[in-house]
Amino acid sequence: MIFLASDHAGYEAKLKVIKLLEKHKVEFKDLGTNTTDSVDYPDYAKKLAKELEKNKKAVGILICRTGIGMSIAINRFGFVRGALCRSAKDAYFSRCHNDANVLVLGATTKNHKRAKIIKTFLNTEFEGGRHERRVKKLSELV
């Protein structure tokens, strides 16, 4: 399951992500926002974090204008490893080495690039090994 949320600045990009997920028959749940009216991005990061807390094997996608605000907000939750990815290479290593469970995107990322980032994130497995020790330490920081 993929949980998806955005703020008002990421709303249009989120609609494009929804179309992409539907095209590839990927199961998802949209947590909002459903408008371009101004909202506070931490509220939507929190909604997504609550879903991940209940669904340990799920992943999330968050979108705001730059991705920075959502990235900061989602990483306040100790069980979340959110990665702001601007390339497929970022997405690959965020999953492979860091076991990221939330992909954060900036709304200004081009559609073709965004699709490649999402595909890479969803299709890359955590490598484990030496990275497992490091990822475990992340949970100990909070």
61 touches 2 (CB < 8 A): yes
Provide the CB-side half-sphere exposure for 98 (13 A, CA): 19
- From the candidates 8, 24, 97, 112, give the one annotated as an active-site residue: 97
Residue 131 neighbours by CB under 8 Å, 6+ apart:
96, 97, 98, 99
**Residue 97 known to be catalytic:** yes
Q: Tell the residue number behind the tokens 């475990």, with chain if given.
A: 136
Residues with catalytic function: 97
